[in-house]
Amino acid sequence: MTDSPLKELTIKKFREALAKKNISVSELTGEILDYIKKEDGKIKAFLSLREEEAVREATEADEALRQEAGPLIGVPLAIKDNILIKGEITTAGSKILETYKGAYDATVMEKLKREKPVLLGKTNLDEFAMGSSTENSGFQITRNPRDPERVPGGSSGGSAAAVAAGMALGALGSDTFGSIRQPASFCGVVGLKPTYGAVSRSGLIAMTSSMDQIGPIAKTVEDAAILFSAISGYDPMDSTSVSHEYGDEILSPDMEKAKALRIGVPDEYFIEGLDPNVRTAVGKAIDELKALGVKFKKISLPHTKYAVPAYYLSMPAEVSANLARFDGIRYARPGLAFKNLVDVYFKTRGRGFGTEVKRRIILGTFVLSSGYYDAYYARAQKARKIIAQDFEDAFKAVDVILTPVAPTPAFKIGEKINDPLAMYLSDIFTGPVNLAGLPAISIPTKGGSGLPIGFQLIGRKFREADILALGRLYESG
């Protein structure tokens, strides 16, 4: 795709340009919309574009900037299409919702709208966020801007691709087992998965309610912190939301304190089969942080190997329950003729859901069925507790944990789509974080001439400040 200065434009740089009056919000919005219309046919990051609304919001932002100076006023953002915007189509990447309009704003959208950004459009995803490559979308396959023959990762592949391509200065995604961090790593951008409960899930189309978490994708750690600060906070509309006040350290970290943080490196994440390029890139990032004065310690997370099986028993069970509502009554599909109520169910779900979604519903229904619940689902929950305990034990010795994000760089389109197990294993390093409800961030490693490779920083619950500060230290080093 065409090289563009938009690829290098960050939220911070845009704010500086606005302050110097080098550009207006309307001018930048026009440039980005033109760029999307010219280039997104190759990348396919967006499912829908809010062109008229974005132009109006840009004009309103220019007016607001005469009196206000909020960090997100006029910033062009993209939104993953499983997050509701009132009155606008929200498909979750599925044909079953291709005509569904959000009845209300997700809480994160209410919060963002108060900040007055420009909302460019909704981005592509694996159907109902079920996938690691954005090949499972019911509408289109998104391509990696760094190599269009490769996947952008998933399920937030559209959001990551849009930011990496310069089609948005930031985006929102959702992360259930790595769906923000893995695409961020594959596309060479920053992706933050907050602590479970730190950001409201109200208005997020649910996949796995005990693990889903909305978070930001951006070009820098600082930009991710700005977005996180805007969307975090307690929400009475989300029963899993936690009341926790984040201080100034999210946006204004103390770098000397960051250098004093102890980082643990688990042997279990540097296993046989880890791509040599990933091992080298992450090893170099560790050396660079050591050169900045950060101390490292070897640790063990001994039950890591159970994360993928625990997830792929727990997640389908919740999928089966959450997707039961899509029965053709409340979410009808146009153009289908029905003979009776049973016909409504079979035709709507049979033709509306894709292969991966059907696979997970069937598996989830099985593991919850009589005679199998204790053998599968209950044992998976016990494994989940043990994995969470591993992290608690590790955090007695260290403040932050560093690992690879994915075992490989971005793989080619079609390479794993017919091998579900190989696809599931691409989340082996990100998933344990979701099982434990911890915050984690993917940060691009420096200096590589090939495909992007990210490393992951994992923090204690509600200690996003630690991983954000270390990320900024690494970027500035």
SS3 string, 380-402, reads HHHHHHHHHHHHHHHCCCCCEEE
At residue 181, φ and ψ (nearest 5 deg) are -70, -40
pLDDT given at position 1? 61
Token pair recorded at residue 35: 């760029």
Classify 450 in phi/psi space as left (phi over 0), alpha (psi -120 to 50) or beta. Answer: beta
d(CA 232, CA 173): 14
Neighbouring CB atoms inside 10 A of 38's CB total: 12
d(CA 456, CA 459): 10
Q: Residue-wise pLDDT tens for the chain (477 aa)?
A: 667 889 999 999 999 999 999 999 999 999 999 999 999 999 999 999 999 999 999 999 999 999 998 999 999 999 999 999 999 999 999 999 999 999 999 999 999 999 999 999 999 999 999 999 999 999 999 999 999 999 999 999 999 999 999 999 999 999 999 999 999 999 999 999 999 999 999 999 999 999 999 999 999 999 999 999 999 999 999 999 999 999 999 999 999 999 999 999 999 999 888 999 999 999 999 999 999 999 999 999 999 999 999 999 999 999 999 999 998 888 777 778 889 989 988 888 888 999 999 999 999 999 999 889 999 999 999 999 999 999 999 999 999 999 999 999 999 999 999 888 889 888 999 999 999 999 999 999 997 779 999 999 999 999 999 999 999 999 998
Catalytic pick among 26, 94, 137, 155: 155
User: What are the residue ranges of helices labelled H in 269-306?
Assistant: 276-291
Per the CB < 8 A criterion, the answer to whether 124 and 44 are in contact is: yes
Catalytic pick among 132, 179, 232, 241: 179
pLDDT given at position 380? 96
> Domains (ranges, CATH) in the chain?
5-257+405-476 (3.90.1300.10)
d(CA 168, CA 13): 13
Annotation says 219 is catalytic: no
Token pair recorded at residue 103: 């009845």
Per the CB < 8 A criterion, the answer to whether 147 and 413 are in contact is: no
d(CA 324, CA 349): 10
Q: What is the pLDDT of residues 376-396, one digit of tens each?
A: 999 999 999 999 999 999 999
Answer whether the bond into residue 229 is a cis peptide, omega within 30°. Answer: no
Mean pLDDT for all residues in the chain? 95
d(CA 200, CA 127): 21
pLDDT given at position 477? 84
Beta-carbon contacts of 3 under 8 Å, excluding residues fewer than 6 positions away, are none
pLDDT given at position 331? 79
Q: Strand, helix or coil at 78?
A: strand
Neighbouring CB atoms inside 10 A of 300's CB total: 13
Annotation says 13 is catalytic: no
d(CA 313, CA 360): 9
Beta-carbon contacts of 57 under 8 Å, excluding residues fewer than 6 positions away, are 29, 116, 117, 118, 119
Catalytic pick among 26, 44, 48, 80: 80
Annotation says 156 is catalytic: no
If you ran DSSP here, which 8-state letter would residue 8 be given? Answer: G
Per the CB < 8 A criterion, the answer to whether 214 and 84 are in contact is: no
